[in-house]
A and B are shown apart, each in its own frame.
Chain A
């Protein structure tokens, strides 16, 4: 399954300036692992002990994965996975 992972501006130093990364994976966890395989620097910024850090939100085509199956959330061809800081609003 080929999906697009969108990277927030502040983290693009770790992706050589790329705003989007195309990866393969059948669920969110696999897609993120594929991103980390290409850009190792991102792993520690986004995850801690194998889980997402507490101020990281991940969405699959606009839906928060915490309302779905978390990192196990299935993804389909063409889905967009968005990583965003959870420190806005209110």
Chain B
């Protein structure tokens, strides 16, 4: 653990640990700061390897000492070597897929919620809440149910039915807001002042964001204590993207792994691309957009960590691209056919960008490229509903033979 407190990312002002999330002096975001100087790399490595089968094995790098007996521990999701996908992409790089749909509620959000809620309990909250595009709402509602907490999840009212259902099933207070995600987010920022609740991604955000670092830690461990050469990751608010970078850096600094930061490639949808646009135009501030894309989990028009995501992509020699809704659907299909993993639209965005980078020849032979799949395909059925085909036959051999023999002839 070795937490020092909270620190403003903009001006460096230090704060005690509390449910504070922005700097009183400059409005900058607060981040957890640590003192790892007392840690011995070999000892930490042993502690990790002997730890729980999930994110709590990385407690030395989290703002909470753990959650003993966690009924819903996320993490240690598969890192799949995806040779077939690499072949389909026509690249000689070693392509890996980190399948974070394999978490308890099928998205990476279980990681950040686990950390935020453990901290919320430590700070004395008994009600948890969030502003969500869906996956986060699922994760908050499930964890509240598992831990016996009250919860309120606020989402845009026009969200995918699967994501609404997969929140309400846990017995949460599901609040559909008539507006887009940015409106939900603004409302929650106001509610923080009027309700005594832990909004995981508002007043608990400094702790919440730390949970994403565990994706970087797992990647290193699963690659045999090596760093990848490149990562391709989706950008919504930019928090996951920047915290992946911070996770790698903390382990490099401590000497747990040798090498340099991977090159970071960010992925957005054309219909919501404030970060990709600012990157392309050379700005360090994102102009907000009104989202219009099938990738609803990335539909954040005013991304809080946009400036830091841009900075990290630039510093590592990477880039941030955006892709069309059509490319997103093709990305979902490509991943499914190349790996057997069915991802949601955000994963389609990531794979579409992976494909574009491969086609542009950005990957060198033998490079380790990790694509982060953050969510599950069954949650965004609307986006893929009309993209499948089926052979319908009668229940007899003649019908089967005529359907498939006919196909062979035509082939």
Of the residues B10, B26, B202, contact of A89 by C-beta under 8 Å: B202
SS class of chain A's interface: helix, strand, loop or mixed? mixed
- B22–A90 touching, CB < 8 Å: no
The answer on a CB contact under 8 Å between A53 and B27 is: yes
Contact between chains at B285 and A88 (CB < 8 Å):
no
Per-residue CB contact flags for chain B residues 20-34 toward chain A (1 = under 8 Å, else 0) read: 111011111110000
For the complex, is A84 an interface residue (Cβ under 8 Å from B)?
yes
B238 CB–A CB distance under 8 Å: yes
Task: Type the 1/0 row for A1-42, where 1 means its CB is closer than 8 Å to any CB of B.
Answer: 000000011110100000000000000000000000000000
CB–CB B302/A55 < 8 A: no
B98 to chain A, nearest CB (A): 19
* B231 interface hit (Cβ, 8 Å): no
Please determine whether B27 and A45 come into contact, CB atoms closer than 8 angstroms: yes
Interface size on A, residues (CB 8 A): 27
Contacts of A45 in B (CB 8 A): 24-27
Contact A88 B24 (CB under 8 A): no
User: Which of chain A's residues have a CB closer than 8 A to the CB of B300?
Assistant: 89-90
Find out whether the CB atom of A89 lies under 8 angstroms from the CB atom of B237.
yes
Q: How many residues of B contact A (CB 8 A)?
A: 41
Task: Give Cα distance in the complex from A88 to B204, angstroms.
Answer: 9
Indicate whether B104 reaches chain A with its CB closer than 8 angstroms. no
Contact at B26–A55, with CB atoms within 8 Å? Answer: yes
Asked whether, in the complex, the Cβ of A13 is within 8 Å of the Cβ of B24, the reply is yes
Neighbouring B residues of A56 by C-beta, 8 Å: 27
Q: Is A79 an interface residue (CB 8 A)?
A: no
B27 touches A87 (CB 8 A): yes
Residues of chain A contacted by B238 (CB below 8 angstroms): 90
- Please indicate the chain A residues that have their CB under 8 angstroms from the CB of B302 in the complex: 57, 64, 86, 89
Given A84-B189, A89-B202, A90-B201, check contact A66 B27 (CB 8 Å): no
Check if B201 sits within 8 Å of A88, measured CB to CB.
Answer: yes
4 nearest A-B pairs in the assembled complex, by CB-CB distance:
A90-B237, A85-B22, A87-B29, A89-B185
10 A-B residue pairs with CB within 8 Å? A10-B20, A45-B27, A48-B26, A53-B26, A55-B10, A55-B26, A66-B288, A84-B189, A85-B27, A89-B131
